[in-house]
């Protein structure tokens, strides 16, 4: 088999066989196919697409290019969740302790922030001492003992994807539905998931800007799940405005703790309860969505979800006194409430702009490996559709860098559009 023949076949819109896909993935992972041929192939896939069967074969080949984890000796049904990324998306911090408190063990390997989307590991590191580098032995022991793990990737999962993604990033081949779907799904499958809830975000602060694209991605991932024998439930949720009110690491952890204590913003709580219910159904802990939902609500109301989060923090070396007294967490040196300059109804809170502004404050990274400033970010006080009067708080900025603060503040102010006419609220879920 020759790489060039596989490229030509895709260029001519023919369907690749499983053997051809296996060969291509195996050899490019081993470095036997040069980057220019892999890039050319990726462009052919971007332009000509892949069938569901090809996408599934690509997913499985990439999933098996490194370690494939198996926790079936510890958990009957390994259920994972994945969000395609957004602004203010601290869902895992709420959902995982909630479902674990309902008796569904969850061990999750999360990532760091990328671009304007935040990452769970950065948020958790706001809690002093919290370790995100558990060994595989520690991971398994903790999953068995307390039924919850939230850490970084320790095993070498899907190295083919890491290699292909790095090339896609610099060759204009990221926005291909089969390549994105296989990239996400191969990591879930390599991580040992039997079933997964996929939260596909759409809007100005998401990867998929339109509902149509979000739907295509959700369908592609469901098709892979079906062909690969994994149960997949997908939701398409809004990311035109930030989820909840907090954007920034410490601020988001504090909001998640509020929600685990039964408070927090209504949209964030609602989103988290919905995702928890989906996971409980997939994990066969609840017979249906309504039962899953009431189990999740009970775990919040009786404090068991909050207690599970404390257990998680303690097990991973974090200082639990910060969970009990979030006021101890890092604070920014400049905290300023910015008022609305006119009265009306909130028409837009551009999530992408708020996310970019948070990165400029230091909450995220301009490039891989940069440090993050955990204390900085925003509290966005109003949601689309809300009435606001001139002078009332629009958002609060938490900044440490006086040089960038004025520009960032102006950017977030401009991300808000206030209309003279009433505006309907945005839905939380589209599908
Ligand atoms: N996230 C991934 O893991 N892969 C992609 O290709 C896009 C988003």
Query: Ligand 1: distance of its center to the CA of 418 in Å?
Result: 34
- Over 80: is that where the pLDDT of 114 sits? no
Is 56 part of a structural domain of the chain? no
Query: Ligand 1: distance of its center to the CA of 299 in Å?
Result: 32
- Is 203 in the same domain as 127? yes
The model's confidence at residue 299, banded by pLDDT at 50, 70 and 90, is very high
303-325 CB burial, b ≥16 within 10 A, e <16 = ebbbebbbbbbebbebeeebbee
- Is 316 in the same domain as 355? no
Question: Which residue's CA is minimally distant from atom 6 of ligand 1?
Answer: 180
Query: Ligand 1: distance of its center to the CA of 276 in Å?
Result: 23
Of 288, 304, 324, the position where a domain reaches its end is 324
Element (H, E) at 413: helix 405-415
Question: pLDDT tens across 339-364, in order?
Answer: 999 999 999 999 999 999 999 999 98
Is 60 part of a structural domain of the chain? no
Percent of the chain at pLDDT exceeding 70: 100
- Is 278 in the same domain as 354? no
**Ligand 1: residues whose CB is within 6 Å?**
165, 179-180, 183-184
Which positions ≥6 away from 216 have C-beta within 8 Å? 177
Question: Which residue's CA is minimally distant from atom 1 of ligand 1?
Answer: 184
Mean pLDDT of the chain: 95
Structural domain count of the chain? 3
Question: Which residue's CA is minimally distant from atom 7 of ligand 1?
Answer: 180
Residue position matching structure tokens 């998401």: 206
d(C-alpha 257, C-alpha 253), whole Å = 6
Q: Which atom, in ligand 1's list, is nearest to the CA of 165?
A: 6
The CATH number of residue 118's host domain is 3.40.1030.10
Query: Ligand 1: distance of its center to the CA of 201 in Å?
Result: 13
Is 426 part of a structural domain of the chain? no
Of 264, 289, 324, the position where a domain reaches its end is 324
Pairwise pLDDT comparison (114 vs 40), residue with the higher score? 40
Structural domain boundaries, residue 232: 79-324
Q: Which atom, in ligand 1's list, is nearest to the CA of 180?
A: 6
| pLDDT (0 to 100) of residue 169 | 81
| pLDDT (0 to 100) of residue 323 | 98
The CATH number of residue 380's host domain is 3.90.1170.30
- Is 275 in the same domain as 373? no
Give the active site residues.
Answer: 82, 161, 168, 183, 187
Residue of 174, 202, 208, 220 with the most ligand 1 atoms within 8 Å of its CB, for mutation: 174
d(C-alpha 221, C-alpha 270), whole Å = 24
- Is 312 in the same domain as 369? no
Question: Which residue's CA is minimally distant from atom 2 of ligand 1?
Answer: 184
- Over 80: is that where the pLDDT of 116 sits? no
Q: What is the CA radius of gyration of the chain?
A: 22
Which tokens is 120 given?
A: 């769970």
The CATH number of residue 9's host domain is 1.20.970.10
Query: Ligand 1: distance of its center to the CA of 183 in Å?
Result: 5
Residue range 426-431: average pLDDT? 96
- Is 258 in the same domain as 388? no
149, β-bridge pairs? 107
| pLDDT (0 to 100) of residue 365 | 82
The model's confidence at residue 248, banded by pLDDT at 50, 70 and 90, is very high
- Is 320 in the same domain as 338? no
The structure's pTM equals 0.93
Question: Which residue's CA is minimally distant from atom 5 of ligand 1?
Answer: 180
């Amino acid at each position: 088999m020759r790489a060039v023949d596989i490229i030509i076949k895709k260029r001519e819109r023919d369907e690749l066989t499983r053997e051809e896909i296996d060969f291509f993935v195996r050899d490019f992972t081993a470095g036997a196919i040069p980057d220019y041929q892999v890039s050319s192939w990726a462009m052919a896939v971007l332009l000509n697409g892949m069938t569901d069967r090809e996408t599934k074969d690509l997913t499985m080949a990439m999933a098996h290019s490194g370690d494939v984890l198996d926790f079936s000796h510890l958990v009957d049904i390994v259920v994972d969740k994945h969000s395609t990324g957004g602004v203010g998306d601290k869902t895992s911090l709420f959902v995982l302790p909630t479902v674990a408190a309902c008796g569904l063990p969850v061990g999750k390997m999360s990532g760091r922030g990328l671009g304007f989307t935040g990452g769970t590991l950065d948020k958790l590191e706001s809690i002093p001492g919290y370790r995100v580098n558990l060994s595989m032995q520690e991971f398994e022991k903790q999953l068995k003992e307390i039924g919850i793990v939230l850490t970084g990737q320790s095993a070498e999962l899907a190295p083919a994807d890491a290699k292909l993604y790095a090339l896609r990033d610099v060759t204009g081949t990221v926005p291909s539905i089969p390549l994105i779907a296989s990239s996400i799904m191969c990591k879930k499958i390599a991580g040992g998931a039997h079933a997964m809830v996929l939260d596909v975000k759409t809007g100005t602060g998401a990867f998929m800007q339109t509902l149509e694209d979000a739907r295509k991605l959700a369908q592609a991932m469901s098709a892979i799940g079906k062909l690969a024998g994994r149960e997949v439930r997908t939701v398409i949720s809004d990311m035109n405005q930030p989820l909840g009110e907090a954007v920034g690491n410490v601020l988001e952890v504090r909001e998640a703790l509020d929600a685990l204590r039964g408070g927090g913003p209504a949209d964030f709580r609602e989103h988290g309860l919905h995702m928890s219910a989906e996971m409980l159904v997939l994990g066969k802990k609840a017979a249906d969505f309504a039962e899953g939902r009431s189990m999740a609500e009970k775990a919040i109301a009786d404090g068991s979800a909050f207690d599970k989060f404390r257990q998680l923090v303690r097990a991973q070396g974090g200082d639990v006194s910060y969970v009990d007294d979030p006021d101890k967490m890092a604070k920014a040196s400049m905290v300023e409430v910015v008022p609305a300059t006119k009265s009306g109804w909130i028409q837009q809170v551009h999530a992408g702009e708020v996310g970019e502004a948070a990165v400029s404050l230091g909450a995220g990274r301009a490039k891989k490996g940069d440090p993050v400033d955990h204390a900085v970010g925003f509290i966005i006080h109003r949601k689309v559709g809300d009435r606001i009067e001139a002078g009332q708080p629009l958002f609060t900025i938490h900044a440490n860098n006086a040089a960038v603060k004025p520009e960032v503040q102006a950017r977030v102010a401009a991300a808000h559009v206030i209309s003279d006419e009433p505006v309907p609220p945005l839905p939380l879920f589209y599908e």
